[in-house]
Structure 1
Amino acid sequence: MLRGKFLDVNATLRDRVESVIRTEILRKETMERILRVNGGKPLNGEITVRGAKNFVPKAMVASLLGNKPSVLSNVPLIRDVDVVSELLSLHGVHVNYDQGSGTLQLDPSNVETAHVADIDALAGSSRIPILFCGPLLHRLGEAFIPDLGGCNIGGRPIDFHLETLRAFGARVEKLEGGIRLSAPDGLHGTKIHLPFPSVGATEQTLLTAVMAEGLTELSGAAIEPEIMDLINVLQKMGAIMSVDTDRTIRIEGVKELGGFVHTSLPDRIEAASWASAALATRGNIFVRGAHQPDMTTFLNTYRKVGGAFDISDEGIRFWHPGGELNSIVLETNVHPGFMTDWQQPLVVALTQAQGLSIVHETVYENRLGFTRALKEMGANIQTYRECLGGLQCRFGQRNFTHSAVISGPTPLRGAEITVPDLRGGFSYLIAALAAEGESQVHGIDVISRGYEHFITKLRALNADVELITR
């Protein structure tokens, strides 16, 4: 009886503490952070990029599959890493992150089923929870995935993820607020063909296939550097897989996996974003950590536009060499093509190029929506539903606005703008920095999902910025 009273007191105290925490979280969420930017000045100096946002969270999820601890280095302090850390902790993984060194220690020894309410509290923060399905089905035999969020740049349906998991033998049940999956008979290797080389679908297949019984053959797979680094991690854990030149990945399932010690590849998207900022502001930025082999296509395009760069073992220096920038025809594509995430920041620089530039987006159908704010700032941009370029893509047939013609150069003027998504948000920052006058950028916390310490880095580049809270 006495023990029961203590439990009641502890439960009451816990409820009070949780109530205070929820109140504080709500207070912070309702406070708006705005970045005031006085533009028209070149960005000059040095910044550092760490691990890739499109790889690090996926490697963290992979640690769930192991029966031993894992260590991941070069980890950036971004919101997506926070979300995955919280989700892993909810499932019993011990997570220890050293911010100074960027080292993450992950111990999955005590994996357990998380409470639905706790998982649901993170719903809307990220789409990464869908990738927990395969590892949790292997470790626990079940998984719950909340309704998912992410950037509104086009369709990222989870239907294919669910169909993939069904192909492995998972049972899928739709519940209020999410989806419950179970695998009473275990998961088994299968054949999967991707009609489009989706990064997320490839990651889902890899994370599920490595411990599924038998052989899995994935054709039409994505082969981005981040995918290849995930394969490196899984191989270190004990997975058996091969990658053919025709985008076919074959995975032989194993009964158990260990841990890994791995250093993340650098973030090629962030590096290219700062490169575009140097070009748009007529600046000079050394991006420590930028890696040439992962950026070959971007560097070729950057040079065609008229940007200059110098490559060293420590990073890449990007600068505007003076004179006029060149207009270009640009089409995004899956790797090794021009990455869709490079497109938005470079479009800002193209508003300062001489003549007509044509951009054809073939990966995400709504990625050109961010150009509306650029037009309000003075850019001359027309968008079209037709495929403007050499590629006939799937969006032209579906009547999406996915091509743009940019006429320049046009001076940009300061404005009040709201961040639409992660890459569009950083592009707005570039536009505000290049524009004459003051801009107020709302919704900047979205940018923290993929850009580590971006305000600190802006100040290191002598940007005139001020963070205000309302």
Structure 2
Amino acid sequence: MDAIKVRGGNLLRGEVVISGAKNSALKLMVATLLTDEKLTLKRMPDLADTRFLSGLLTHLGATVERDAASMGLHTERLASAEAPYDLVRKMRASFNVLGPLLARNGEARVSLPGGCAIGARPVDLHLKALEALGATIELADGYVEAKAKKGLIGAQIVFPFVSVGATEHAMLAAVLAKGDTVLENAAREPEIQDIADCLNAMGARVSGAGSSTITIQGVDRLHGAEHAVVPDRIETGTYALAVATAGGDVLLRDAVWKHNTALWDRMSAAGATLSQEIEGVRVKASGERLTATDMETRPYPGFPTDEQAQFMAAMCVADGRSVIRETIFENRFMHAPELMRMGAKIDLRGNEAIVTGVSELRGAPVMATDLRASVSLVIAGLVAAGETTIGRVYHLDRGFENLEAKLAGCGADIERVKE
């Protein structure tokens, strides 16, 4: 099994090219099930999750071709309308094949999902949205069995709370429904807009994406298209926090400034310098301790839950005490005990973490518990005295492309090793 070794103390200088967004790319791949023509996705990240989903789509009948910069997907005909447990259990996003299969085929059988251990994350809202579109849903033996023999029908769907996954799933299903669908209290993330842009390039009629009300005029069929995946705002934020914590001067090439304004606000308050440039976003930090700054996760455009662990790592060596409040997912402080193994002072109180910054962390063997937690340990290792060994980095490989090479290219002392 792979591990990552980091030896702290180096400033980061240079540039990092930001990859396509994982949280968008996976849903864009699923869109191949909506058409019998070829879909080409540019700026596709090469991740464990994209490779895993490729396997599931191949099982369903897609032909998947990959090169360094793009992915071509072509599902001329469906080979199966069943997504079995072994091909769904490892990754929650696999569940999103349900809506497109149902929209195109009139029925589907999909295993209930697995994925990161960061709370219950039920799929109730996904299923209720499909039922509102006219599907009949039954749960049996760990599978969702859905039918809409006469096709899906447009509907007004009001989400009781903001859900990125349910918004995306409803969009993917409703584009082939008869009539209009209106999604109220929809998620507003940039990845939602990106998915809508791709669907529209395929012939869909989606408007309002990026706002809390999305309208979808159903069409009879979609065609092939070419689409570039939006740059990954979570990867952007991760490297920005790495530079702010370790110190240095790094250009985050292709980063989109407006997608991370909540993070820029907190980082500026902590003492980092950020600037928008033609090529992307530049992050500068002196290498002196940051100033402790409070933070609370919120749905977009608030502070992203997927950047909470990385922000906590930065606050572990900040001057003063910060309060980090997690409002999106329960059980998402699993990285805190691992950071404490490195000397961090963190007091967990329900959905709050009270972080008292220390002048120095110490390298130690630690273990990744989920995708974002894993990279918080890398950030901590960049400033820790001595060597940090991070185990179970298969979590990290799910969402970060060439992380060691990107950091090493900026001067970090980091390598992948076999445990």
Q: TM-score, normalised by structure 1?
A: 0.85
* Correspondence for 2:308: 343
Matches of 1:305 and 1:167, distance apart in 2: 46
SS of residue matched to 2:207: strand
Q: Post-superposition shift, 1:199?
A: 0.3
Matches of 2:228 and 2:126, distance apart in 1: 28
Say whether residues 1:411 and 2:360 are aligned partners.
yes
Q: Post-superposition shift, 1:38?
A: 1.9
- Alignment partner for residue 230 of structure 1, among 184, 192, 195? 195
Unmatched segments (≥5 aa) in structure 1: 1-31, 385-400
* Correspondence for 1:425: 374
C-alpha spacing 1:268/1:86, structure 2 compared with 1 (3 Å): same
CA contact (8 A) 1:123 1:149 kept: yes
SS of residue matched to 1:446: helix
Cα deviation, 1:266-287, whole Å, max 9, x if unaligned, reads 0010011011111221233222
Matches of 2:315 and 2:398, distance apart in 1: 25
* Correspondence for 2:342: 377
* Correspondence for 1:241: 206
Matches of 2:411 and 2:142, distance apart in 1: 45
* Correspondence for 1:145: 110
* Correspondence for 1:66: 35
Spell out the pairing of 1:180-219 with structure 2 (5 A cutoff): 180-219=145-184
Say whether residues 1:109 and 2:58 are aligned partners.
no
Q: Post-superposition shift, 1:418?
A: 0.8
Q: In angstroms, what is the RMSD of aligned CA positions?
A: 1.8
Matches of 1:142 and 1:345, distance apart in 2: 41
CA contact (8 A) 1:333 1:340 kept: yes
C-alpha spacing 1:110/1:445, structure 2 compared with 1 (3 Å): same
- Alignment partner for residue 454 of structure 1, among 403, 410, 415? 403
- Flag the structure with larger Rg: 1
Cα deviation, 1:107-148, whole Å, max 9, x if unaligned, reads 1212221666xx333232211121111111122222222242
Matches of 1:178 and 1:425, distance apart in 2: 30
- Alignment partner for residue 352 of structure 1, among 295, 317, 323? 317
CA contact (8 A) 2:297 2:325 kept: yes
Say whether residues 1:49 and 2:18 are aligned partners.
yes
SS of residue matched to 1:450: coil
CA contact (8 A) 2:363 2:381 kept: yes
CA contact (8 A) 1:378 1:410 kept: no
Say whether residues 1:88 and 2:57 are aligned partners.
yes
Matches of 2:174 and 2:81, distance apart in 1: 23
SS of residue matched to 1:338: coil
CA contact (8 A) 2:154 2:174 kept: yes
CA contact (8 A) 1:96 1:104 kept: yes
Q: Post-superposition shift, 1:334?
A: 0.8
Q: 1:37 is matched by which residue type in structure 2?
A: V
Q: Which runs of 4+ in 1 moved over 4 A?
A: none
* Correspondence for 1:135: 100
Say whether residues 1:469 and 2:403 are aligned partners.
no
SS of residue matched to 1:90: helix
Matches of 2:109 and 2:391, distance apart in 1: 33
Unmatched segments (≥5 aa) in structure 2: none
Spell out the pairing of 1:23-42 with structure 2 (5 A cutoff): 32-42=1-11
Q: Post-superposition shift, 1:307?
A: 0.6
Q: 2:157 is matched by which residue type in structure 1?
A: I
Spell out the pairing of 1:259-408 with structure 2 (5 A cutoff): 259-384=224-349, 401-408=350-357
Matches of 2:5 and 2:145, distance apart in 1: 44
Q: 2:158 is matched by which residue type in structure 1?
A: H
C-alpha spacing 1:62/1:308, structure 2 compared with 1 (3 Å): same
Matches of 2:262 and 2:57, distance apart in 1: 35
Q: Post-superposition shift, 1:441?
A: 0.8
Q: TM-score, normalised by structure 2?
A: 0.95
SS of residue matched to 1:369: coil
Between 184-193 and 107-116, report the one with greater CA deviation: 107-116
Matches of 1:177 and 1:338, distance apart in 2: 34
SS of residue matched to 2:334: helix
Cα deviation, 1:410-452, whole Å, max 9, x if unaligned, reads 4111111110111111001111221111221110011111100
Matches of 2:191 and 2:103, distance apart in 1: 23
SS of residue matched to 2:10: coil
Cα deviation, 1:305-357, whole Å, max 9, x if unaligned, reads 10112332212221212544222221111111111112211111112222121
Cα deviation, 1:362-410, whole Å, max 9, x if unaligned, reads 11122223111112211111122xxxxxxxxxxxxxxxx2111211234
Query: How many corresponding residue pairs?
Result: 419
Matches of 1:55 and 1:79, distance apart in 2: 15
Matches of 1:427 and 1:286, distance apart in 2: 20
CA contact (8 A) 2:187 2:210 kept: no
